[in-house]
Amino acid sequence: MPEKRYKVIFMGTPDFAVPGLRALSCDARFEIISVVTQEDKPIGRKQELNAPAVKRAAQELSLNVLQPTRLKNITTELVNLAPDFIVVIAYGRILPEAILNIPKIACVNVHASLLPKYRGAACLQAPILNGDSETGITVMLMDKGLDTGDILRQAKIKLDGSENLEIIHDRLSKIGAEILGDTLIDFADKKIKPQKQDESFTSYVKIIDKKDGQINWDSDAQKIERQIRAFNPWPGTFSFLESKMLKIIKAQVIENADNKLEIGQIFTENKQLLVKCRQNALLILELQLEGKKVMDSPSFLAGHADISGKKLK
């Protein structure tokens, strides 16, 4: 048993935060005294209430869970818990100064980018959209700004241009959990000197909306292919075939497409479906027509022999 167990309030909401919660809960150096997460939300056509992933995990671990509609409603309760750390992973709301000032040691955030690049919400998607060669995790001190606090530790991963959002999400979630405990201890033991962020390299990314998934075929095929990977599985990428939504799930860039074709026009080669883009074309590997199941190109074409020459919009 360690000489001291640090008391931690954990704040997080989605699946991304669960590995970090589990890592701290089974680390003898820490005691999670409460878990703060967002409220249960209605989902689906029946609008049934669905508990956040962090709440479900916390209940499995027999941890106390708080779900305030407003953080100010639990400020006094958190103060009385007297935590050494507040650890935040994808909580989804800005913390007021009154919360930031509660822990004895620090409020610490695990952010899914190599800060100061990609401050904001869509930090997982941004490296894929921009064709970056690397991304990573930043463990940082929190202040009043949006992802502006001093850096405690970073961990990088290489990108080879094949990753989609799901892969990046799972890899970074795991890495964040792996480095979190040691980072907290090293900071508490003054083995880490916090580093200021270089504001000259700052960039911000906005929240992704479902409408952002609509494909603009008047773009480079490579840009569209990155969009498809960045938005898989959510919000997904789509176009319209006549009046029906066509989801594009996986695609590959084909160079030097026939320039006589119109942008967005469908053509076929070797029983494969392709779409002409502003530059080059996309070979559609997996797709789903509204109301139908996911198919590969040959299977889709078997039931849509007349599709060649039609345009996607």
- At 205-219, the pLDDT tens digits run 999 999 999 999 999
> What value does the mean pLDDT take over residues 105-120?
98
Residue 259 has pLDDT above 80, yes or no: no
What's the rounded Cα separation, in Å, for the pair 182 and 270? 54
What's the rounded Cα separation, in Å, for the pair 130 and 149? 24
Residue 88 has pLDDT above 90, yes or no: yes
Could you give the angle at the alpha carbon of 173 between the alpha carbons of 158 and 250, nearest 5°?
65
**Facing residues of 295 across strands?**
287
Q: Cα(first)–Cα(last) distance of the chain, in Å?
A: 62
| Predicted pLDDT of residue 257 | 65
pTM metric for this prediction = 0.94
Identify the three-state secondary structure at position 173. helix
Of 99-103, 253-257, 265-269, minimum mean pLDDT range: 253-257
Whether the CB-CB separation of 109 and 149 falls below 8 Å is answered with yes
| Predicted pLDDT of residue 1 | 56
What's the rounded Cα separation, in Å, for the pair 119 and 64? 30
Report residue 221 as tokens. Answer: 């095929």
What's the rounded Cα separation, in Å, for the pair 197 and 147? 10
| Predicted pLDDT of residue 71 | 95
> What value does the mean pLDDT take over residues 81-101?
96
